[in-house]
Structure 1
């Protein structure tokens, strides 16, 4: 199954750690096999990683953006996620954390980020933050 990315003029996308930038007009890019993809405008910035869940999300995103460094981040994210699991008593939230870690173990970082999004939303509720997602909420993923 293919994924079609419609890129705006000058839009950037990261595909398996490689930054691709569109030229000055709209363009459709077809991804025909599995790839880790995130639009440049959706990448969470370092300064946005201000809470435990956001920091975990940022580390997983870093693994997606730099596959060569993923092994170095693996023990870090395992420890962070274990702490999150212990911190949240709600079984549904713990389930999302476990799903995310399962996807990290499979090196499917897009799905790991997707599984962690409900935890981000819940953390915002617990912290009394306005509802909204960080940058990094519209990643794309292709599987072939």
Structure 2
């Protein structure tokens, strides 16, 4: 069987095609069989006002595409420009090969994964776990 497998912790929240979903009391494992579903774990979401650096703005644009708030074509155009601006400031950013290929194939989740370490280098490792996803949901999506 193919499909995206989501492993959820108790009370973990996510957006599926614009609908806020919260897991119950126990760990859960779901298989999403529909291709093209827009799924965003809210612990990975960034509020618009947190997009204060070029890398975070690029991350936020990719997030909007993952959430289905921007079309792939629109997000790709904006993200290409945002990544070019960010690459001027961050020598660790490899826009030409890795990220450029992800944007070209509209793999915006992979863009988020690639940017996460660079964009949030200033964030403490526990900060992600302790962040309130509920507060992010309204502002980010």
Taking structure 1 as reference, are residues 96 and 79 closer, same or farther at Cα in structure 2, changes over 3 Å only?
closer
| Equivalence for 2:105 | 106
**Bigger RCO (CA 8 Å, 6+ sep):** 1
TM-score by length of structure 2 reads 0.67
Taking structure 1 as reference, are residues 28 and 96 closer, same or farther at Cα in structure 2, changes over 3 Å only?
same
Please, which runs of 5 or more residues in structure 1 have no aligned partner? 136-144
TM-score by length of structure 1 reads 0.66
Q: Distance in 2 between matches of 1:97 and 1:133?
A: 32
RMSD: 3.0
Please, which runs of 5 or more residues in structure 2 have no aligned partner? 129-141
How many residue pairs get matched? 124
1:96–1:115 contact (8 Å) kept in structure 2: no
Superposition deviation, residue 50 in structure 1: 1.1
SS of 1:5's equivalent?
strand
Q: Distance in 2 between matches of 1:115 and 1:23?
A: 26
| Equivalence for 1:12 | 13
| Equivalence for 1:115 | 114
SS of 1:94's equivalent?
coil
| Equivalence for 1:30 | 31
1:7–1:29 contact (8 Å) kept in structure 2: no
